[in-house]
Amino acid sequence: MEGNLLFVGGDLSGIQKFIYNITSKRAMVSLKGRSQYLKELTDEICNNILNIKDLQNSSMKREMMEIYCSGGKFYLQVPDTPDVRTAIEKIRQDTEKKLWEEHKGQLSINIDYVPFCYVGNNVKVGNETGNIGILWRYMTEKFNNLKNQKFKSLLIDGYKDFFEITKVGENDKVCQITGIEGAVPYELPFKDENGEVEKLFVLESVKKQIYKGLELRDKQHFKMLEEYAGDTYLGILRMDVDGLGARFIKGFDSMEDYKKFSKGLDDFFDADNGNLHTIQELYKEYLNIVYAGGDDIFVVGRWDKVIDFAADVQKAFKEYCLNELKDETLSISGGVAIINKKFPIAKAAELAGEAEDAAKKYNNGKKNAFNMFGESISWNEEFEYVKNYKDQFVSLIDKCGLSRGILHKIMKYAAIVKENKVIEEENRYGNNKRKPDWSYLWHTAYYLTRFMGKEKDNNAVYDFCKDLRDTQLHTPEQYRLMSLAARWAELELREIKNINDKNE
């Protein structure tokens, strides 16, 4: 490919807060509608650029121009002409104005370009020549600068709209979905407890999103949040691929290799037809993928099934990377928040995000981890270790007479271990004279030995307790992992008890 080109990038900013800024009222329909709205918005902005007159008349084919468009981002390579540059700037300003008018700062758009040309299999940007990864490096720098100058053109041209006090009338209503003022009443196709059509106060933009969600509900037959939870807890899951930005900047041998790689990611994370959809089908009675954009996943459903789903996604993604993408470096991290079904969905999404961040920081930032019940564990070995002992706790307590009290004992001793770490850290800097409590070691041995004496004729329980005493509860890390297994088992046993109570 010859001639001067522009590497054009677009990035919707504020996606996470926009999706989750929602009350629990009709939450599932609204969440799905917002997710679809973002997908359509990204496609629309991308198409507006590709439909620039000079590009329509270009000899360069559209499929060569479009590199990537998913997850609120798009990248294009287009011929570099003065008219194309002018048109891109106008699209940026028009889109920025539209987003401000409709969303008042919740969403913003970053659009910029990097002039470049091909030099053999490499690209040249200014005086720098290298693989195509330098395009993403330059674009990342431009995006970071733009994010610090949100709505710059609007601030210059419409200072009063931003900073003058807006008078709110007594009759202005608050949107029942977002909590933003300026709502008007709409009769939406929902029914209240009496079977009457409900009249909700919502923003015009929210009404459109609700109808998008209703269309998706008719196609996908998803449930309301409360229905997924049933009589138990909801799980709010967030996952995304580790170090993907660094992978792009590292570069590929050619733009075609990048496009192939990106399409491979899209194929996996496509919640409608891809691998993610296949996994979701196994859990469709228990959970739903609210948002899957690029490499980012947001899922709601019954807490235990959400954890199982996350493990299946991780396993499938690892295999997919090895077999399809031929990339051993990629991994995926995630976090789950377990909440009461009446808990505010926006806050739950925030907690799940914090859990995901904790997973990515785990083990000195090596990522490839999962956070649940406030603890992070690596997908490699630790997750299976915790799950294995959770399953043993559940089976032995439910079927073999193992005392449920063992769960609380292990959690109690693990809490002492955790506090000891705090004391040691304080003492290291001379800020504390407390002494660590090492009594948990002999208390553990004593408790398990006594229990073994009572259960010497119960081989399964005896052998399990002996394993804990002799090999599994020696180091602080073993206590941490076993305590997590106990916490997981405790909640699962509660589900079993609820089911048994119903069947009596």
> Are the beta carbons of 177 and 206 closer than 8 angstroms?
yes
Task: Tell me the C-alpha distance between 116 and 131, whole Å.
Answer: 12
Identify the H or E element spanning 347.
helix 345-365
159 vs 302, residue with greater confidence: 302
Domain-embedded: residue 329: yes
Tokens 């493990």 map to which residue?
311
Please report whether residue 143 resides in a domain: yes
In 3D space, the residue among 72, 95, 68, 75 whose CA is nearest the CA of residue 19 turns out to be 72
Q: Which residue has the higher pLDDT, 119 or 189?
A: 119
Q: Does residue 88 carry a pLDDT above 80?
A: yes
Average pLDDT over residues 307-314: 98
State the sign of the Cα–Cα–Cα–Cα dihedral 191, 194, 199, 201.
negative
Distances (CA, A) of 10 to 126, 240, 432: 21, 20, 52
In a domain, 205, yes or no: no
Rounded to an integer, what distance in angstroms lies between the CA atom of residue 442 and that of residue 193?
Answer: 58
Decide: helix, strand or coil at residue 401.
coil
In the prediction, which pLDDT does 181 show? 76
Structure tokens at 128: 């720098």
Q: How far apart are CA 336 and CA 304, in angstroms?
A: 10
Q: Where are the alpha helices (DSSP H) in 321-400?
A: 345-365, 382-399
Asked whether 329 and 247 are in contact (CB, 8 A), the reply is yes
State which residues form the domain around 468.
Answer: 395-503
- Decide if 219 is inside a domain: no
Measure the CA–CA gap between 369 and 310, rounded to whole angstroms.
11
Using alpha carbons, select from 221, 336, 316, 333 the residue that is nearest to residue 267. 316
> Tokens 């997710």 sit at which residue?
35
Supply angle C-alpha 355, 329, 367, rounded to 5.
20
Strand order of the β-sheet with 5-13 is: 66-70, 73-79, 5-13, 108-119, 122-125, 128-130
Q: Domain holding 41: CATH number?
A: 3.30.70
Is 451 within 8 Å of 403 (Cβ atoms)? yes
The two structure tokens encoding residue 303: 């807490």
Banded model confidence at residue 236, pLDDT cuts 50, 70, 90: very high
For residue 476, what pLDDT band results from cuts at 50, 70 and 90? very high
Residue 292 pLDDT level (bands cut at 50, 70, 90): confident
pTM metric for this prediction: 0.90
The pLDDT mean for the chain works out to 88
Q: CA angle at residue 275 from 271 to 281, to 5 degrees? A: 65
Are 255 and 403 contained in the same domain? Answer: no
What integer pLDDT is reported at residue 367 of this predicted model? Answer: 92
Which residues fall within 8 angstroms of residue 30, CB to CB, at 6 or more apart? 22, 177, 206, 209, 210, 213
State how far the Cα of 324 lies from the Cα of 379, in Å rounded to an integer.
Answer: 20
Mean pLDDT value of segment 163-180: 65
Task: Classify strands 369-372 and 332-339 as parallel, antiparallel or unpaired.
Answer: parallel
- What pLDDT was estimated at residue 469? 96
Residues 54 and 79 in one domain: yes
pLDDT over 80 at 263, yes or no? yes
Give 9 or 169, the one with higher predicted confidence. 9
Whole-number Å distance between alpha carbons of 455 and 447: 12
Whether pLDDT at 158 is above 60 = no
* CB-based contacts of 284, cutoff 8 Å, min separation 6: none
| CATH number of 234's domain | 3.30.70.270
Question: How many domains does one find in the chain?
Answer: 3
Co-location of 49 and 105 in the same domain: yes
| Residue 95 and residue 234 in one domain | no
Are 408 and 358 in the same domain? no
In a domain, residue 39? The reply is yes
Averaged pLDDT for residues 445-454: 92
pLDDT (average), residues 108-130: 93
Question: Of the ranges 189-198, 205-214, 332-341, 451-460, which is most confident?
Answer: 332-341
DSSP code of 123?
E
Determine the average pLDDT of the residues in 448-466: 92
Q: How many CB atoms lie within 10 A of CB 156?
A: 8
218-221 long-range Cβ contacts below 8 angstroms, 24+ apart: 220/32, 220/288
Residue 222 lies in a domain: no
Q: Which of 245, 262, 247, 387 is nearest to 312 (CA)?
A: 387
Spatial contact of 301 and 235, defined as CB atoms under 8 Å apart: yes
User: 476-503 and 382-399 are packed helices; what angle lies between their axes, rounded to 10 degrees?
Assistant: 40
Q: Indicate whether 400 and 374 sit together in one domain.
A: no
More confident residue, 185 or 231: 231
